[in-house]
Chain A
Amino acid sequence: MAGIQIKNIVKKYGDGFPAVNDVSIDIADGEFVILVGPSGCGKSTLLRMIVGLEDITSGDMMIGDKRVNDLAPRDRNLAMVFQNYALYPHLTVYENIAFPLRLAGASDSEVDAKVKEASKTLELDEHLQRKPGNLSGGQRQRVAMGRAIVRDADAFLFDEPLSNLDAKLRGQMRSEIARLQKKLGITTVYVTHDQTEAMTLGDRVAVLKRGVLQQLASPRELYENPGNLFVAGFIGSPPMNFLPAEVEGTSVKLPFGTVEIPADKAEKAAGRGLLIAGIRPEAFEDASLVDEARAGGSTFSGKVEFVEWLGSETYAYLPFEAPPEVVKQLEQLEKDLDGDSLRTQLVISLDGASRVREGDQAEIWVDTSKMHLFDPATGENLTVDLSNAGRIPALDSGVPA
């Protein structure tokens, strides 16, 4: 086992386009790191550079203390699970799992012992003599993992391993992977575009956008202290609300009215003119349900256009008008996030007990201590708590993202 150091890695294709641009990630021994981002952000390319299937244009890839840039995949001693499993269809499950051992020239008894152990861990015992073509998606997935864990690899690499499974199976396999990784304590790099997987599996999550590392932090840090507009919009579901805002003193003017924010936040954003305020849906509540103890925030009133009641909670949608410069920035953000540019509306999550109806003029309470303020030009989070935000590369060098 070993840690992986990714140092200033750049990948340029023939046309000079940098698919991965100056990414540095230090992965500790035994750590579970997620690479996440929308399609085309370079996360898979980065993974394939770690394993050696893709050439590195510049930078250093270190596994343990060894520079592996010029080593062939087979000399890097890494195990990889591919998106579509890449099982060998002409071999039985047993031989698929045994394949790396046979290549390494292990004796038959050793192969048998290790394959049996792996198949027991993954509950594949009854399928050992079947061919991959006759297995279900989840079973194939487990065979692919069996092929990875059977060797004493330095690290596991997963390339969107669950994207071909249906939702229920995905949840099961997700916990399976987490359990396996904890049990084996092996360094793991996991690529996904699914933020649920990113949040639940990783010790740390690296968010990438167009080949550039945006933020590297624990899931909680990412959620509570996103470094910029992109990370804020990418992490969380339903996504963070973005509203035009103007700060004057400690009050913030939002489309629905003026709210008070804590003084330290106001100070960071003072004198910047028009900003974008980011507030997560759960920072809102139906004012009638907020007791005095929680009343640290502000209340405002808005017209509810549409309500989704989910039992435990209620989503309410409040449309608003935004100035063109904010709309433009939000449209660009949606494009970066692979989404369609939707109309500007506030999505708020209320308690399931809330009686707010469609068309109501509702009193809404908002916890303004959880509000973030972003620079509309650069997307930089002005109110980020740097001591709890992991690493934000854009701020390392002092250049905004």
Chain B
Amino acid sequence: MGNTPLRKVGIALGAALILIWCLLPVAWIISLSFKSQESITNGSPGFFPSEGGFAGWDNYVAAWDNEQFRRAIFNSIGISLIATLLSVIVATLAAYAIARLEFRGKKLVLSTALAIAMFPVVSLVGPLFDMWRAIGLYDTWPGLIIPYMSFTLPLAIWTLAAFFREIPWEMEQAAQVDGATSWQAFRKVIVPLAAPGVFTAAILTFFFAWNDFVFGISLTSTEAARPIPASLSFFVGSDPFNRPASLLAAGAVIATLPIIVIVLAFQRKIVAGLTSGAVKG
């Protein structure tokens, strides 16, 4: 590997390009959220607000003051967290069984799970809408949690099964010899060791639930269950013919914050290679 300085510059340049590519839209939304409504209507193409077009925190305050928006945030957080929690619990148990036990139909379970994950979301919306209205799940939290779970479970199961397979059998056997029941061995040894996998699955599930728009807008009708992405599309402001772009941008930024917080919180858990040192190094 000669000319290392050149390589370093190349890597830095590449990283910068990718960062700009990914973050420019985000930066632009943040920029929009600080511009006043008038300056946008009049045309304000620059990244920084034009003279007199700076709105400060006004847009954020206005968005937050909106009762509908606050309800939507509450719905989104609640629905996403419950869907994530349930999905991770079910997936952990299912993945453990798939990784450790030999049973008939194991292949079938795995391939069915994969098939479900590939199913187009849109094709399910119509039937679900009909069913949910008949059952009474329409416009309720469970009405969204159930489809979210069914779409995130397959991925979570596949991710976790891979993690469980990595954990040496001996860990469990040692625990059993030490006096643990199968359940204790699972809970005290296997789950902690699979923690990176559990958190990965949790984040993936949370993203899916948080970002979903199609189910959110089709299976809800009021603030009772409407999540943020759907709610933002109902953001009309005072003038129905002129969508308040800066207000929307502020709402979008607020909607992004929980995701960032969760990723930062879970990141360290995911990175840690927990199995190191389990067996001979």
A-to-B contact residues, CB < 8 Å? 51-53, 72-74, 78-80, 82, 84-90, 99-100, 103-104, 131-135, 137, 140, 147, 151, 164
Contact = CB atoms under 8 A, between A and B. Distances in A.
A103 B280 contact: no
B89 to A, nearest CB: 20
B129 to A, nearest CB: 45
B278 A132 contact: yes
B179 A133 contact: no
B174 A86 contact: yes
Interface string B90-128: 000000000000000000000000000000000000000
4 smallest CB-CB distances across A and B, nearest first, come from A133-B277, A84-B279, A86-B174, A86-B170
Contacts of B173: 53, 73, 82, 86
B31 interface: no
B278 A74 contact: no
B178 A99 contact: yes
Interface of B: 168, 170-171, 173-181, 184, 188-189, 192-193, 195, 274-281
Contacts of B189: 88
Contact of A131 (B170, B175, B277, B280): B277
Contacts of B195: 90
Nearest to B195: A90
Contacts, number: 85
Contact of B181 (A74, A99, A132, A134): A74
Contacts of B274: 89-90
B180 A74 contact: yes
A84 B188 CA distance: 20
A82 B178 contact: no
A87 B277 contact: yes
B132 to A, nearest CB: 42
Given A73-B173, A80-B174, A86 B180 contact: no
Contacts of A74: 176-181
Contact of B180 (A52, A89, A103): A103
Nearest to B170: A86
A72 B278 contact: no
Contacts of A78: 177
A103 B184 contact: yes
B181 to A, nearest CB: 7
A68 to B, nearest CB: 13
Contact of A135 (B176, B188, B277): B277
